[in-house]
Amino acid sequence: MADQYAQSGEDKSTGIPAIRWDEPPEGPVVVLLDQTRLPAEEVELVCTDAPALVEAIRSLAVRGAPLLGIAGAYGVALAAARGFDVEEAAVALAGARPTAVNLSVGVRRARSAYDAALARGAGAEQAAEAALAAARQLHREDAEASARMAEHGLALLGELLPGGGHRILTHCNTGSLVSGGEGTAFAVALAAQRAGQLRRLWVDETRPLLQGARLTAYEAARSGMAYTLLTDNAAGSLFAAGEVDAVLIGADRIAADGSVANKVGSYPLAVLARYHHVPFIVVAPVTTVDPETPNGASIEVEQRAGYEVTEVAAPNVPVTGAGGGVPVAPLGTQAYNPAFDVTPPELVTAIVTEEGVVSPVTAEALAEMCDRSRGV
């Protein structure tokens, strides 16, 4: 399957867009590619109201920081277009998951556009159109940011690893399944592949919900990449064998001091990378930087249900299906299941955004980049 796409140079990393707005005769809907069913089947999930979207966010049918922002914005637009309580929908959507700051940023963008239209004297219908326009704009901006991150990330790889032939380790899932474009860290790997500089993408399986095995391997295969899947705890021996040239990951929230919250298992990779003198690079849009969160300790880390650890998914059962998986621990076992961890800035070689590269990672350099992005 991989070779089928290898020569095209075109992004084939998903068959169906991760999210889209549609207006069938029954009324507007937000249509998601249900990521809990991948890679077994490409099934769309149609959300007709904000509560359905909230449930899709909680169950990870739609996930990944930039896409959560887009989903939040479309969710507000959906509530407005269907005449539901926009305030109530916005609060529920923004609170559906706590760690990825993009979710509340997206909700706020659409909500502000809606409120501003009403304040100008627009009717409910026009205000709903304003919310939808804001969601569409955010969707487009994310695609553009993705392309720019890929350019900056590729240039950085060239500087840090002048020999080319990169062997890149990644964690979780950061491609077109999380973005309006080709993603964050995965978009950089794709750019390296197109430039003939990617020797191998090492894909951490990403326990417990297997975003690496199910989603990144799916995107890598469709893009024709040379990739290899490993268990998260095999990363140490891979570094020790000298097989990793760089780590590329995304982020769910970057605090003002440069601390990076990302999928649990990212911090151990940063420690390994430092020990083995390998660059640890974070790729994220500016919307993931949260100046309101001063440091890593202030980032709320989502704690998820224990069954995600005590069970593994059964064939054809969505991986988040409570009670639907196969138990792998004695009944009643308690589980520690944080969805994210926090990497301190001193372990991060560089943060790549659409605005450029921040390295070394300091509060001042990040603030300067955010100001530049706002045109300050």
Task: Look up 252 and say whether it is catalytic.
Answer: yes
Query: Nearest residue to ligand MRU, using CB?
Result: 250
Shorter beta-carbon distance to ligand MRU: residue 301 or 367: 301
Is residue 172 a contact residue for ligand MRU (CB under 6 A)? yes
Residue 339 CB, shortest distance to ligand MRU, in Å, is 5
Is residue 250 a contact residue for ligand MRU (CB under 6 A)? yes
Query: Please, what is the Cα angle at 203 between 345 and 18, to 5 degrees?
Result: 90
The partner residues of 340 in beta bridges, in order of sequence, read: 263
Angle (deg, nearest 10), helices 101-119 and 65-81: 30
CA atoms of 19 and 157, how far apart (whole Å) = 30
Reduced to 3 states (helix: H, G, I; strand: E, B; else coil), residue 53 is helix
Is residue 64 a contact residue for ligand MRU (CB under 6 A)? yes
What tokens appear for 85 in the block?
Answer: 């309580």
CA atoms of 178 and 146, how far apart (whole Å) = 10
Letters for 202-221 (x = contact with ligand MRU by CB under 6 A, - = none) are ---------x----------
Residue among 283, 290, 98, 60 at smallest CA distance from 183 = 283
Window 138 to 167, contacts with ligand MRU (CB under 6 A): none
Q: Which of 34, 142, 204, 252 is catalytic?
A: 252
Residue pointed to by tokens 């993603």: 183
Shorter beta-carbon distance to ligand MRU: residue 129 or 318: 318
Shorter beta-carbon distance to ligand MRU: residue 104 or 262: 262
Residue 183 CB, shortest distance to ligand MRU, in Å, is 6
Is residue 98 a contact residue for ligand MRU (CB under 6 A)? no
Question: Is 12 annotated for ligand binding?
Answer: no
Residue 238 CB, shortest distance to ligand MRU, in Å, is 19
Side-by-side strand order, sheet with 44-47 = 19-22, 29-33, 44-47
Query: Please, what is the Cα angle at 198 between 193 and 199, to 5 degrees?
Result: 135
Window 330 to 369, contacts with ligand MRU (CB under 6 A): 339
Q: Compute the Cα dihedral for 247, 252, 255, 261 and give only its sign.
A: negative
Residue among 262, 255, 260, 261 at smallest CA distance from 291 = 255
The partner residues of 326 in beta bridges, in order of sequence, read: 312
Which of 176, 193, 262, 353 is in the footprint of ligand MRU by CB under 6 A? 262
Residue pointed to by tokens 């959560």: 68
- Candidates 106-114, 190-198, 250-258, 361-369; binding stretch for ligand MRU (CB under 6 A): 250-258
Window 177 to 206, contacts with ligand MRU (CB under 6 A): 178, 183-184
State the number of binding residues for ligand MRU (CB under 6 A).
18
What tokens appear for 264 in the block?
Answer: 């649990």
Residue 340 CB, shortest distance to ligand MRU, in Å, is 6
Question: Is 148 annotated for ligand binding?
Answer: no
Residue among 115, 133, 112, 137 at smallest CA distance from 124 = 115
Which of 63, 152, 166, 253 is in the footprint of ligand MRU by CB under 6 A? 63
- Candidates 17-25, 113-121, 145-153, 172-180; binding stretch for ligand MRU (CB under 6 A): 172-180
Reduced to 3 states (helix: H, G, I; strand: E, B; else coil), residue 50 is helix
CA atoms of 235 and 169, how far apart (whole Å) = 9
- Candidates 39-47, 105-113, 171-179, 345-353; binding stretch for ligand MRU (CB under 6 A): 171-179
What tokens appear for 23 in the block?
Answer: 């207006």
Question: Is 65 annotated for ligand binding?
Answer: yes
Is residue 37 a contact residue for ligand MRU (CB under 6 A)? no
Q: Outline where 41-123 has alpha helix (H).
A: 50-58, 65-81, 86-94, 101-119
Question: Is 295 annotated for ligand binding?
Answer: no
Binding residue positions for substrate? 63-65, 97, 211, 262-263
Q: What residues line the site for ligand MRU (CB under 6 A)?
A: 60, 63-66, 100, 172, 174, 178, 183-184, 211, 250-252, 262-263, 339
